[in-house]
Amino acid sequence: MEQHSEGLKVMVIDDSKTIRRTAETLLKKVGCDVITAVDGFDALAKIADSHPRIIFVDIMMPRLDGYQTCALIKNNSSFKSTPVIMLSSKDGLFDKAKGRIVGSDQYLTKPFSKEELLGAIKAHVPDFAPVEHVS
């Protein structure tokens, strides 16, 4: 049964207000329910409350970086199967490998496009069906 993305809970964790706002705007346009967090600590509390279906996390953040945040999410049995997509302005092999080691499901390089964001969601949430014109 195909579920429309209305209410598909997506979390965006990034210390950059610009990135959070950009991702939130793009995702809300296709009907996603977007939860944002400024860092890993902020995110962990919100993840427990909101149970997002997919999580986008920046690597370079203060206090708790993206690798640590991803590892904590993946080590929690309740969220082990939640897809975590790493976001980074670095496109290095080392960063991608380190992301894989901590359990990330995909790696997107910033700045990302709407197509890349939606492609990542479609790849990891098979029942995702974007709605184009949300009022």
Kindly report whether the global pTM for this prediction surpasses the value 0.85.
yes
- Tens of pLDDT, residue by residue over 72-98, are 999 999 999 999 999 998 888 898 999
- The Cα-based distances of 33 to 5, 30, 93, 98, 125 in angstroms read 8, 9, 32, 29, 14
Q: What is the pLDDT of residue 46?
A: 97
In a domain, 133, yes or no: no
In a domain, 57, yes or no: yes
- Tens of pLDDT, residue by residue over 105-135, are 999 999 999 999 999 999 999 999 888 764 5
Residues 6+ apart with CB under 8 A from 16: 58
In a domain, 129, yes or no: no
In a domain, 104, yes or no: yes
In a domain, 30, yes or no: yes
Q: What is the pLDDT of residue 60?
A: 94
In a domain, 2, yes or no: no
In a domain, 51, yes or no: yes
**Domain of 53, in residue numbers:** 8-120
* Alpha-carbon span 40 to 28, nearest angstrom: 22
Number of domains in the chain: 1
* Alpha-carbon span 99 to 78, nearest angstrom: 20
In a domain, 91, yes or no: yes
CATH number, residue 71: 3.40.50.2300
Q: What is the pLDDT of residue 133?
A: 60
* Alpha-carbon span 66 to 15, nearest angstrom: 10
Residue tagged 């995909």 (tokens)? 106
- Tens of pLDDT, residue by residue over 10-51, are 999 999 999 999 999 999 999 999 999 999 999 999 999 999
